[in-house]
């Protein structure tokens, strides 16, 4: 049986992830930037077609979770791949520092409220995984609070899957050198310098801590029903192609169908 294109990035459940073993500059499966651009043009059309079928069918939904270290490319991925979808059935949900109201509930409360309804595609720009990533690295809560969250997350995603939501989780994997170049590019560009925070340098100083947190989170929560994909993302063109392949293959596996119109047979518009 021929493996899908997306299989090369999928984290097999039960596999211990070592990000140092995955080349963030890798381009496996795609010959060149020009070739990727040609393929992506067709992929955009295919993605729109599948989204239209999903919206019309109104039975299933797709949740795409995007996670990355700072400057990893979440915004760029959304801009290049998802903003061309029909906004009637596609949304982007971003999660920053919890509000006072959100902190008064369990950590998944604000997340569940933004999950997709039937027929929808929702992209999470950051997600519930912040509660085992930044919370862990910054020691915002004790370990005996954040560590049980891995299993709570697995249960949450299993519940979504059982209700008809396909969960696809993407870690955009960049190198420390690439992050430095992107930070500097932001600082040098007057139209992008606003995106840089001095606190970004503090987070960069904890690069190894974040890597360990990501490795454990991916290892503990890549499941058969909600797998993780580690996408080499130093090359933006490769990242975009890889993400498009993963999302398209997920939708194709869902195989949404247009509803039949048998009840309209014989109707005449006069």
Whether 240 shows a pLDDT value over 70: the answer reads: yes
Classified as helix, coil or strand, 123 is strand
Pair of tokens at residue 9 = 């990035």
User: Could you give the dihedral angle defined by the CA atoms of residues 205, 206, 211 and 213, in that order, rounded to the nearest 10 degrees?
Assistant: -170
Q: Does residue 45 register a pLDDT over 70?
A: yes
The mean pLDDT of the chain is 94
| Domains defined along the chain, listed by start | 27-254 (3.40.50.300)
Sheet holding 61-68, edge to edge: 90-94, 121-125, 61-68, 165-173, 228-232
How far is residue 123's CA from residue 170's CA, in Å, rounded to a whole number? 11
- Note if the pTM is more than 0.75: yes
What is the pLDDT confidence band of residue 199, given thresholds at 50, 70 and 90? confident
Structure confidence at residue 102 as a pLDDT band (50, 70, 90): very high
């Amino acid at each position: 049986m021929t493996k899908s294109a997306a299989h090369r990035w999928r984290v097999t459940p039960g596999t211990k992830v070592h990000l140092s073993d995955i080349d963030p500059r890798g381009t496996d499966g795609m010959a060149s930037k020009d070739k990727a651009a040609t393929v992506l043009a067709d992929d955009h059309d295919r993605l729109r077609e599948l989204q239209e079928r999903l919206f019309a069918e109104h039975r299933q939904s797709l949740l795409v979770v995007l996670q990355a270290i700072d400057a990893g490319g979440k915004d760029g991925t959304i801009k290049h791949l998802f903003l061309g979808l029909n906004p009637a059935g596609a949304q982007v949900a971003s999660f920053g520092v919890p509000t006072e109201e959100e902190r008064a509930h369990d950590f998944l409360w604000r997340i569940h409220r933004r999950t997709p309804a039937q027929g929808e595609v929702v992209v999470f720009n950051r997600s519930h995984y912040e509660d085992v990533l930044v919370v862990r690295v910054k020691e915002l809560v004790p370990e005996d609070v954040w560590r049980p969250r891995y299993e709570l997350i697995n249960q949450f995603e299993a519940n979504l899957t059982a209700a008809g939501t396909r969960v696809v989780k993407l870690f955009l994997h960049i190198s420390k050198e690439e992050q430095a170049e992107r930070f500097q590019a932001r600082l040098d560009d007057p139209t992008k310098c606003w995106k840089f925070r001095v606190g970004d340098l503090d987070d960069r100083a904890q690069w190894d801590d974040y890597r360990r947190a990501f490795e454990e989170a991916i290892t503990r929560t890549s499941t058969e029903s909600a797998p993780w994909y580690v996408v080499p993302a130093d090359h933006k063109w490769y990242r975009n192609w890889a993400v498009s392949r993963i999302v398209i293959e997920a939708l194709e596996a869902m195989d949404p169908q247009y509803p039949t119109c048998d009840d309209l047979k014989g109707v005449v518009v006069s």
